[in-house]
Amino acid sequence: MTYFQKILRELMDEKDLDQIELANALRCRQGEILNWVNGKSKPDYDLIKALSDYFNVSADMLLDTNFVD
């Protein structure tokens, strides 16, 4: 599991959000969220910004490259 997958799941759990609710909040497809959660893809710059705004965290926190699983 990547750091991004882990932090996204944690942030979604904290807000008790499912993938559809997050997709609606970010105005993207639920399939995109599913791919992020499953590690098949990562959000682009605009969606990283939207995620950081929505969850009130920094983009650096979402993209931390020092994570070790």
User: What pLDDT, on the 0 to 100 scale, is given for residue 1?
Assistant: 86
Tokens representing 43 are: 């959000």
Question: What does the domain layout of the chain look like in residue ranges?
Answer: 3-62
For the stretch 1-16, pLDDT in tens is: 888 999 999 999 999 9
User: At the fourth CATH level, which superfamily is domain 3-62?
Assistant: lambda repressor-like DNA-binding domains (1.10.260.40)
pTM as predicted: 0.86
Name residues of the chain where pLDDT drops below 70.
65-69
CB 47 within 8 A of CB 26: yes
Torsion of CA 49, 29, 19, 21, to 10 degrees: 80
| Integer CA distances (angstroms), 20 to 26, 34, 37, 68, in order | 10, 9, 12, 29
User: What pLDDT, on the 0 to 100 scale, is given for residue 66?
Assistant: 62
